[in-house]
Amino acid sequence: MFIPLREDDPFYHVVAQWVAEEFALEHGGSTATTAFTGLYVSQSTGRIIRDQVQIIFTDVAVDLEDIIAREELITTLDLFRADIERLLPDEEEIWVTVSPIWIVRR
């Protein structure tokens, strides 16, 4: 999940911490990056915006080939994203991505 961190509003940091803790509780762990600068074009103004962005990762034990399990995961994450957007109403959007990762062991 990509969470913007605004310097003028400490609530953004509270939300990011909450997301990391929820992922840890729900999935057994999470990782939050150090904030870095992200650039995007504002849909409302067309201007380039520079944000501090934190990415929060978690491992989810879901077989993405299983259509039912994948749809349940997408529904859950979409509801979670909508909650974050309600908490941070000044944001145009919050990104949630899902990518398969394989751990190589011999």
Question: Where do we find the tokens 């929820």?
Answer: 22
Residue 75 confidence (pLDDT):
94
pLDDT tens digits, the chain, 106 residues: what are they? 999 898 889 999 999 999 999 999 998 999 999 999 988 898 889 999 888 999 999 988 888 889 999 999 999 999 999 999 999 998 888 899 888 877 788 7
Chain length of the chain: 106
Q: Is 70 helix (H, G, I), strand (E, B) or coil?
A: helix
> Rounded CA gap, 46 and 38, in Å?
16
